[in-house]
Amino acid sequence: MRLLVQKYGGTSVGTPERIRQVARRVVAARRAGQDVVVVVSAMADATDELLALAAAVTPDPERHPRELDMLLTSGERISMALTAMAIRDLGEAAVSLTGTQAAIITDEAHTGARIEEVRATRVREELAAGRIVIVAGFQGVSRAREVTTLGRGGSDTTAVALAVALGAERCDIYTDVTGVFTADPRRVPDAELIAEIGYEEMVELASAGAQVLHPRAVEIGARYGLPIRVRSALRPDDHPGTLITRRVRTMEQLALTGLAAKSGYARLVLRGLPATMAATARVLSAFAAAGVSVDMAGHADVPAGHRQLQLTVREADLERAEDVAAKLLEALAGATVEVKTGLTRVTLVGSGMNGVPGVFARAFEALIAAGVEVYALSTSASSFSLLVPADAEDRTLQALHAAFAPARERA
């Protein structure tokens, strides 16, 4: 029998009525003659609420990663059981399984574990017995039998990994928008639905902050050539959504795929450094040694033989970054540091970014008209990123979307 994996996100199982609606959709697929495996997220804001609960009990929940995972996995356990009940009420056999029961084997990295193997023996047995199987998303078990979670948004990754392991024909990700858009449709009203997108572009968009898919889910899909469809859980299935698949990109001309944003960045400007490669290397090595990853870097020589180095880091690493900078300043007499927090990294993904004159000019003209100050920029062959104040994020997305949407490559 053909096998389909369906994943339902938090909003899609957010209320008892929505869970019953999910059950109806699952049962319809089953009655159309398919085996169905369902992966569910925790209901609505359940994961955020569990995190808030932890923070109310202990000042620093991150000091207890194992217990955080024990706590967080309970969210998906609730929705899986309720979904199984709703399906059974409609007259189909269904059983729910935790990540441990489904034998989703991960490494030991609590709160950010990676899947090493999907055994899914029990899932196969239950399918063979004619049952619909509901699997808790976002969780697994390590070889030491510790319960782990895959990182926020990780239910998508559970679903795609299961789909690959079980030989499903496709993985359908049901969510609260009708598909993947050229930008977050809640922020950019003009955003357009993308009918079809290649894995590589989708990985870039997701990594740049497009929340709609967990980047690791797309990477797994790409590695095994598994088609992924993103579609609405709140609309009938005749709405096709977005298909993520292998796709040949435009070779040369500039084409917009989409825009995404990620908040929580800070910029450090170190001034008065010696204008030597050795000094720059020393600064970068000091950051690396402290485990601070530098996102964007740029340097410039300024008068008086000094060099200025600009580094972008995650705000979560800022305290460590400032410690490193303070020590460096002590060692490099005369140097100063200036820190700017509250920045967002806006990324435009497309093709033909390099070698097309005027891409930056077009971006900057649009941002000047929108009154947005840019703090840093970086480019690759298929994207460019700008660092802007968080309160200018929506304006930046809208201005860049308007400027580049005419260069969209339509499927």
* Cβ nearer to ligand ASP, comparing 213 with 296: 213
Selected range binding ligand ASP among 12-20, 40-48, 254-262, 401-409, rule: CB under 6 A: 40-48
CB of 397 to ligand ADP, least distance (A): 10
* Cβ nearer to ligand ASP, comparing 160 with 328: 160
d(CA 167, CA 161) in angstroms, rounded, equals 10
Residue nearest to ligand ADP (CB): 9
Selected range binding ligand ASP among 97-105, 149-157, 164-172, 362-370, rule: CB under 6 A: 149-157
Residue 177: name its binding partner from ligand ASP, Mg ion, ligand ADP, none (Cβ under 5 to 8 Å by kind). ligand ADP
* Cβ nearer to ligand ASP, comparing 161 with 359: 161
CB of 357 to ligand ADP, least distance (A): 28
* Cβ nearer to ligand ASP, comparing 78 with 269: 78
75 lines the binding site for ligand ASP (CB under 6 A): yes
152 lines the binding site for ligand ASP (CB under 6 A): yes
d(CA 30, CA 39) in angstroms, rounded, equals 15
148 lines the binding site for ligand ASP (CB under 6 A): no
CB of 179 to ligand ADP, least distance (A): 7
d(CA 5, CA 89) in angstroms, rounded, equals 21
Selected range binding Mg ion among 148-156, 157-165, 228-236, 337-345, rule: CB under 5 A: 148-156
Q: What's the gap between Cα 408 and its chain centre?
A: 23
383 lines the binding site for ligand ASP (CB under 6 A): no
Total residues in contact with ligand ASP, by rule CB under 6 A: 12
* Cβ nearer to ligand ADP, comparing 151 with 185: 185
47 lines the binding site for ligand ASP (CB under 6 A): yes
138 lines the binding site for ligand ASP (CB under 6 A): yes
Site of interaction with ligand ADP (CB under 6 A): 9-12, 41, 153, 175-177, 180-181, 183-186, 210-212, 258, 260
CB of 236 to ligand ADP, least distance (A): 17
Q: Which amino acid is at 272?
A: G
Residue 181: name its binding partner from Mg ion, ligand ASP, ligand ADP, none (Cβ under 5 to 8 Å by kind). ligand ADP
Residue 207: name its binding partner from ligand ASP, ligand ADP, Mg ion, none (Cβ under 5 to 8 Å by kind). none
* Cβ nearer to ligand ASP, comparing 10 with 179: 10
Half-sphere exposure of 167 (CA within 13 A, CB side): 4
Sites of contact with Mg ion (CB under 5 A) = 9, 153
Binding interface with ligand ASP (CB under 6 A): 9-10, 41-42, 47, 75, 137-138, 152-155
